[in-house]
Chains A and B, each alone.
With several copies, the nearest count.
Chain A
Amino acid sequence: MDIKILAESFDPWQEIKQYQNSAKKIKGKVGATSIFVGTMRDFNEGDIIKAMTLEHYPHMTEKQLANIIEEAMQKWQIIDALVVHRVGNIFPDDPIVLVAVWSSHRGDAFDSSRYIMEALKAKAPFWKKELLASDDERWVGKNSDGYESRSR
């Protein structure tokens, strides 16, 4: 299990490969890997976004993420998990978050990766400030439910 907060741009696929190669317990027993990657869009709430600054609460971030992974491991059969999150200055198409879960079975992998991602959105102390095309800055007020249409 690993949690990484990075101030520089990262390649999620490289992070996964590297972690898989170093984590011996993954070998042979994994049947299902579920990955979520969140990247920066160039739009939000009808506006063009040029860049973002991601602030966080050092140590509380890691503590909350560790709690979340722990909860997921109690609910589902997980072999290993990795969470990587960016902080600092971010531009469109930059990866912001990577959640990876390795399990023997797909149901456990899917459910737990989603649980971790939703809990991260709700509890991990990160805050986004957007730089609009107009050069105005604004704090993102709250995370959405994650669907295109809010009518669900």
Chain B
Amino acid sequence: MSIKVRYFASLKEMTGRAEDQLDFSKSVTVKEIWYQANKDKTLPDNILAAVNMEYVSFDHRVNDGDEVAFFPPVTGG
């Protein structure tokens, strides 16, 4: 199962990456993806997650080909 992971704003700076391409042999949640991609980094408190550009909770299960994104609280407008 192939998953694209994207990071925005302060999370891009924190992880040092704009995106990851990960492979999983079994079904995983958004939270498991974070820890797989960022082994040494605790999931920051106020972080938001989206799958295919819709907001999801961290126990949302992803499907093959999904795009997962992690980012801080939004500050537009």
Contact = CB atoms under 8 A, between A and B. Distances in A.
A–B contact at 8 Å CB threshold (below): yes
Interface of A: 38, 54-57, 59-60, 63-64, 85, 96-97, 106, 117, 120-129, 139-143
Given A57-B8, A57-B71, A125 B77 contact: no
B69 A128 contact: no
Contacts of A120: 76-77
Interface in B29-77: 46, 50, 53-55, 69, 71-77
Contact of A126 (B6, B50, B74): B74
A64 B53 contact: yes
Contact of B76 (A63, A121, A139): A121
A64 B75 CA distance: 14
A106 B77 CA distance: 10
Contacts of A142: 46, 73, 75
A54 B55 CA distance: 20
A47 B53 CA distance: 34
A64 B52 CA distance: 11
A128 B72 contact: no
A127 B69 contact: no
A87 to B, nearest CB: 9
Nearest to B50: A60
Contacts of A106: 77
A142 B69 CA distance: 18
The 9 closest A-B pairs by CB, nearest first: A126-B76, A127-B9, A60-B53, A140-B75, A142-B73, A121-B77, A128-B75, A139-B10, A63-B53
Contact of A143 (B6, B9, B55, B73): B73
B76 A85 contact: yes
15 contacts: A57-B50, A57-B69, A60-B50, A60-B69, A63-B54, A97-B77, A124-B74, A124-B76, A124-B77, A126-B74, A127-B71, A127-B72, A140-B75, A142-B75, A143-B77
